[in-house]
């Protein structure tokens, strides 16, 4: 049994996130950011992106992470304007928050606060045991590898009281990947319909948010936002397991406000981010009322 000495040699490999910080390292391409918003040749900037994620108007550059596939073409062409960020905590409550740099006005702030309150009210009943139904609505398969990784010994989402289920009738959270293909529209709608209340929906990956390279057309909805109501958006092509975990915890009201909120860890501990011990060294943390 070679796994016994290997386990003794390597020790505990399971991450303690979100209780303790963890990351993929400084070279990880977690997201794209706009380093500078002003430029001269506005017309040439937008043409760089194959998915139309870059917009340039009146000397201002913006990037839509909901359409960005992290191909890096913009970084190669204009490193003075764009750069990769190693962070994975990029999930948001609203679609507009994925456009960086953000420029929310008072009405947007109020709408966002209302959405957060409503989501917290709905998930309040989801305590120690949260069951996730994953459905592929026309993905390229890359997101499925990352979703499957959540159950391995590194991430081990069951330590947080998060479990995957095959039946939507037993699910609390619907995790959707894919562009919303024509053949999956009715099954997706039916899955959402039969889930019991309260229920939460996560759009996982650029395909599910904005259609990715496929976009919208006769065979694709260009994302699932028009098919089911989405509570949390997890950008990435594909999003990493840590990114998916961040989105799930954000959807359950156990983290901060998203977009790399550095205060989320302390608030997560106060409200019980972990449904159980994250390692043998950590005591259990109960979910709040």
Contact yes or no for 174/201 (Cβ under 8 A) = yes
Given a cut of 60, whether residue 179 has pLDDT beyond it is: yes
Confidence of residue 3 (pLDDT cuts 50, 70, 90): low
Domains of the chain, residue spans: 31-85, 95-271
Asked if domains 31-85 and 95-271 share a fold, the reply is no
Given a cut of 60, whether residue 106 has pLDDT beyond it is: no
Compute the distance between CA of residue 280 and CA of residue 163 in angstroms, rounded to an integer. Answer: 20
Sequence-distant (6+) residues with CB within 8 A of 62 are 34, 37, 54, 55, 56, 99, 100, 101
From the options 2.70.170.10, 3.30.420.80, 3.40.50.12280, 3.40.50.300, give the CATH code of 95-271. 3.40.50.12280
How many angstroms separate the first and last alpha carbons of the chain?
44
Q: What is the pLDDT of residues 192-203, one digit of tens each?
A: 999 998 899 999
Strands (E), 45-141: 54-57, 60-64, 82-85, 99-100, 130-136
Contact yes or no for 248/201 (Cβ under 8 A) = no
Sign of CA pseudo-dihedral 270, 274, 280, 284: positive
Confidence of residue 211 (pLDDT cuts 50, 70, 90): very high
Confidence of residue 285 (pLDDT cuts 50, 70, 90): very low
Average pLDDT of every residue of the chain: 83
What mean pLDDT is predicted for residues 228-249?
A: 96
Given a cut of 50, whether residue 261 has pLDDT beyond it is: no
Q: Going by CATH, does the domain composed of 31-85 fall within 3.40.50.300?
A: no
């Amino acid at each position: 049994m070679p796994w016994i000495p290997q386990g003794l040699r390597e020790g505990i490999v399971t991450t303690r996130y979100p209780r303790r910080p963890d990351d993929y390292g400084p070279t990880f391409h977690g997201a794209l950011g706009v380093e500078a918003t002003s430029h001269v040749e506005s017309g040439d900037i937008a043409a760089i992106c194959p998915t139309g994620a870059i917009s340039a108007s009146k000397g201002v550059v913006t990037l839509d992470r909901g359409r960005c596939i992290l191909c890096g073409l913009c970084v190669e062409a204009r490193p003075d304007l764009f750069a990769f960020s190693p962070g994975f905590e990029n999930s948001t409550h609203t679609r507009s928050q994925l456009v960086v740099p953000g420029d929310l006005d008072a009405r947007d702030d109020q709408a966002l606060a209302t959405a957060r309150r409503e989501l917290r009210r709905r998930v309040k009943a989801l305590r120690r045991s949260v069951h996730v139904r994953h459905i592929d609505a026309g993905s390229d398969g890359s997101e499925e590898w990352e979703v499957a990784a959540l159950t391995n010994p590194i991430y081990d989402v069951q330590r947080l009281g998060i479990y995957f289920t095959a039946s939507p009738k037993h699910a609390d959270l619907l995790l959707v990947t894919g562009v919303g293909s024509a053949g999956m529209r009715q099954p997706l709608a039916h899955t959402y319909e039969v889930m019991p209340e309260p229920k939460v929906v996560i759009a996982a990956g650029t395909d599910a948010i904005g259609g990715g390279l496929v976009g919208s057309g006769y065979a694709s909805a260009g994302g699932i936002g028009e098919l089911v109501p989405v509570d949390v958006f997890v950008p990435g092509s594909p999003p990493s397991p840590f990114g998916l975990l961040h989105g799930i915890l954000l959807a359950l009201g156990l983290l901060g406000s998203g977009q790399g909120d550095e205060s989320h860890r302390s608030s997560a501990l106060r409200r019980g981010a972990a449904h159980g011990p994250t390692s043998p060294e950590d005591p259990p943390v109960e979910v709040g009322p």
